[in-house]
Amino acid sequence: MRVYVKLGEPLWRATGQRRLALAWPAGAEVTVADVLARLTTDHSAFAAAYAAAPYRLFVDAAPVDAGNLSAGPQLADGQTLFILLPAIGG
């Protein structure tokens, strides 16, 4: 199973990449919390960078409730988790 992650400014600098592909064994049940944990494990600067701002999460185009990430949503093979700062200004 492969899940993609797209990181916005300035978070992508913690990983050195704007888009990542993360692999899990076939049939794995992967949540957004699993992806965030994996990013923290694989990239030492990720946790501090993620905690520094109120990032918004989307799976494909659907917003993710940041209140209970381990409960869902389950990610399917090929889906993309977007981690972005909300737009500011007017």
Domain enclosing residue 50, as ranges: 2-84
Residue 89 belongs to some domain of the structure? no
As for how many domains the chain has, the answer is 1
CATH number at residue 40: 3.10.20.30
User: What's the mean pLDDT in 33-50?
Assistant: 95
Sign of CA dihedral 42, 69, 7, 78: positive
Residue 32 CA to residue 75 CA, distance in Å, equals 7
Output Rg (C-alpha) for the chain, integer angstroms. 13
Question: Residue 89: what pLDDT?
Answer: 58
Residue 45 belongs to some domain of the structure? yes
Residue 90 belongs to some domain of the structure? no
Residue 77 belongs to some domain of the structure? yes
CA angle 12, 68, 25 (to 5 degrees): 65
Q: Which of these, 60, 79, 81, lies nearest to 69 by C-alpha position? A: 81
Residue 32 pLDDT > 90, yes or no? yes
